[in-house]
Structure 1
Amino acid sequence: MKMIIESEVKRAEALVERYMGLPPETIDLFSFNVDALRKAPADFGRAISALRQVADISSPSQADAAYAVNVVDLIAELAQRPQLPAPIQKLWAVEEGIRTAGGLWTLKHLVTIALAFAGVLVGSTKVMTLGYEMFAYVALALIVASGALHLTHSSNAGTRVPVYTIGALVAFCVLNTLFAPNVGFLVLLAGAIAFMAGSFLSLFDSKNGPTGGELYPEEYQPVEGLRAEEFNYYKVTTGNDMSEPIDRLS
C-alpha cells in the first residue's frame, strides 16, 4: 500500500508541475508551498494537504491507498481548470455550484430568458413609469450577471467575462439612446437563448470528473482500529505468546 501511495504522490507532483508550467522532477510535494497556486481553485491546496497526511502514514491500509488515488484524481480534475484572476475565479466557483446543483442551472437560464422577454414588453417606449424603469435596471443587471457567469466556463474566460460585461452594458445604453429599451432587451434575449442552447449542447460533450465535495475532511484521520496488526515474534500482541519462540531457542 505504501508503494501505491508513493506512486500517487509522484503523479500529483507531475500534475502540479504541468499546471504551473515547470519541468519534470522540480517539485517535492512535501516541501511545496501551496501559496504558489494563487490562481488555482481553493480545493487544490486542500487536496495536496490531504495527500500529504495520507502519505505520512507509516503503515497505510488499503482504504488509505484508495483515498490517495481519489485525492489525486481530484487534483487531476482541478489541474484542468483555467487559471483565472481571483474575482473571475470566484464567479467560476459560483457557476460551478449552479451547474452541479442539477435543475438550478436550467432554472437560471429560464429566469434570464424570462427577464429579457419581460424587458422587451415593458421597454416598448422610451417613456416608462418609475416601476418599469426600476424593473429594467434590475433585469439588466441580472441578465448581464447571468451571461458573465456562463462565460466563466468558456475558453479564455479571463478576457471574455470583462469584455462581455462591459460590452453588453455599453451596447444596451447605446441602443436605448438611439431606439428604445426594448431593442436592447431584444438583443439580450437573443444572447440569453444562445447561452442556454450552448449549455445544453455542452452536456453531450462534457465528461464529469471527480469533484471536491466531501472527498477529504479538514484533517484526515484514518481508522487505526480496523487495521490488522502484523504478527511479530518479538512483540507481545493478542494471540502472540512469547513462550513458544523462547522454548525453541532453548
Structure 2
Amino acid sequence: MTKTQPEIFYTDPRLAQVYDTLNPWAADQQFYTELAGHLPKRILDMGCGTGLLAVELARRGHTVIGADPAAAMLDIARNRPDGDRVTWYLADASSLTLSDPVDLIVMSGHAFQVFLNDVDVEAALNNYFKLLAPDGTLAFETRNPAYSSWRKWTPDISYEEITVDGIGTVAVHNDIVEGSRNRVSYETHFAFPDGTKHVGKGHLRYLEVDEITAHLNKAGFAKIALYGDWDGNPVADDRPEIIAVAQKS
C-alpha cells in the first residue's frame, strides 16, 4: 500500500491559514451536518483539515473525532474556538485506530480524491468499515468526472484576492499541469503581501460511478445512495458531484 502524503498547502502553516478563507462554510458542510441529525452520535471527520465541520458538529451535541495527516491543519483546528470539544488525531485514513466504533464517518472537501490508486481506496474503505458501528454510515463526495470542473482551474478564471487575518491580502490562482477525465495534476499559486510566493502541487483522481459503487460493495457496504449535488438530485453528466452515502448494514 502506498501512503498518501498531504500536499504542501496542507502542511505549510502559513498556507494552512489561507485554507479557511478559501473554503468557508458552504453547502457541503451543511449537507453533512444535516446527515448527522439531531440525536447525539459518535462521528469521525476524516480529513478534517482545520476543523470547521468537526467543531460545528461538536457544538450540536455530537461526540466528534477529527483526524487528518497534516499537522499544520490540526494545529489550526485545535486552536479554533470550541476546538477543545473535539478529539484530534494526526493520522491518515488507512492507519487510524479507535477504541470505540463510530456511528458516522464523513470525508468532506473532496478529500476522497487524494486516493490515487485502487490500493489506497480499498485500504481507506476497509478501515472505515472496521471503524463503523454495525449500523453506521459513511459519507463522502468526489467531483463528477463527466462534469470536468477542472477545466475552469486556469489562471484567468480562478484568480482571486483574499484577505486573511494576520497575513493581509493574498493573491491565489490555479493552473492545470495535466488533465484528463479521471486524473488531474494542478498547481495552486499563492502571492503574499510581503512578496513571497508559494506553489502547491496537487494530484486528484476522478472515479466513475460504477467504480465507486464497486469499491464500496467490495468493502462490505450494502446500502448505497449517490447524489449529483448538495440538493439531493441524482448523479448526471451536468451535475458537479458524486456524493456517496453508504450504510454498513
Alignment TM-score, normalising by the size of structure 2: 0.23
**Which is greater in Rg?**
1
**Structure with the larger helix share:** 1
**Structure with the larger strand share:** 2
Higher RCO (CA-CA < 8 Å; seq separation 6+): 1
